[in-house]
Structure 1
Amino acid sequence: MSEQKESSVLFSLKELMNLEEDRIKQEEDAKAAAAAAAERARLDEERRKREEEEARIRAEEERRAMEERKAREEAARLEAIRQAEVEKARVEAEQRARLEAMNAQQQHERKLAELQHDESKKKLRKTLYGVVAAVVVIGGAATYFIVDQSQKAEQERLAAAEQTRQLEEEKKKIEQQAKESQAKIDSLLSQLTSAKDEATRLALQKQLDEEKAKQDAAKKAGGGGGPRPAGGGGAAKPCNCAPGDPLCSCL
């Protein structure tokens, strides 16, 4: 009996020791799990802070890049406005000079036509004096000559009037074309100053250059002057009149 009791006591002690060892092992495992969890939490926190810092740095860099881009765009816009104003002033000055030259040319042409008409009247008066002096001798021939000279003078007057009219029409046409071209250039300059992106500015600048080229071509085409009055600069016709002939038109 005593041996069975002793054996039972030993078994109980052994069980208690096993239980104690299990408890100690569980406590150690719990401590290790808590330490691992704490380490993971620490690493996660460090990673979160690192990612937040990297995001902050990226956001700051993007903000600086955006500000620099806006500053460049604003500088380009201001430069485009300045260039547009300079170009507009140059075009307007050229346009004024061209119109002044056209006005001066038209006045010159009108004076030439008036001089030509006055010269025709002088020739007709001289002819009439000669005809009156010789009307008794050559009445029929004188009458024909007077009518012929009158018709020629009238034709010259009509030709001068037609040339003046053509000059007026040409001037009006050129002025209208110049106004339309200038209006288009002004519109393109206005669009260029308000353009938001580089592609639009390049397209508008191309259209502006083409319109300026057209305007320069029109200036060159119109620079040769208008029609000249008939007889103003032609070669003198040979005179076949007999000396002292009162009906001679070479006088």
Structure 2
Amino acid sequence: MSEQKESSVLFSLKELMNLEEDRIKSEEAQKAAAAAAAEKARVEAERAARDAEEQRIRTEEERRRNEERRSREEAARLEAIRQAEIEKARVEAEQKARLEAMAAQQHHERSLAALQQDESKKKLRKLLVGGAIASVLVIGIVTVVAVDSAQKNEARIQAEAARARELEEANKRLEAQFKESEGKMAGLRDQLATAKDEATRLALQKQLEAEQQKQEQLRRGSGGRPAAGGAPASGGGAKAPCNCAPGDPLCSCL
């Protein structure tokens, strides 16, 4: 009987040991499965983040190319308008000079025809010849003034186009700074969301607040930035002198 009891006890102990080993193996298997699932989730999250960043970069590059294309088209349009205005001013000046020359010539011819019928009016003929010469001189002066006015208009249009380009470049630089700040803030928010310890979170929060202050400064600066060329955007400054010729239809001083 004692041997049977001893055998029964040993069998029970062995069964208990087997059950404990099975439990330990089951726990280890569960831990390994959980670790594998966590690693898989981390890898997938990193891949999703990389895909999102690549998509953002592609979208930003496409937007930049579209903006450059629109800027080139706008510059070409402004240049075409400028050239058309210059050509129009030149043609009008030449046409006016030709009409005045023709009118002076016709008047001179009529005067000569009338004087030829009356030899006694030789003195008057001389006066009319002198007047015709003076008319030719006046026409020449008018032509020079018209050409000079066209040149001044061209210089003014070029200066305005340069100021417009400077303002556009300043706007692009400001927009790029905003985009860069937004990207930094998005990265800091992502890092803050995945931070593990309090010290890292505090450091990231300080960086995020500093970037927000920088963006606010950019926003305030954009509201009060002077216009291109260093002149104030509105009011307060002395008005630039008008260099347009009298009667210039393209003058912007009015």
TM-score using structure 1 length: 0.49
TM-score using structure 2 length: 0.49
- Which structure has the higher relative contact order (CA within 8 Å, separation 6+)? 1
Is the radius of gyration larger for structure 1 or structure 2?
A: 1
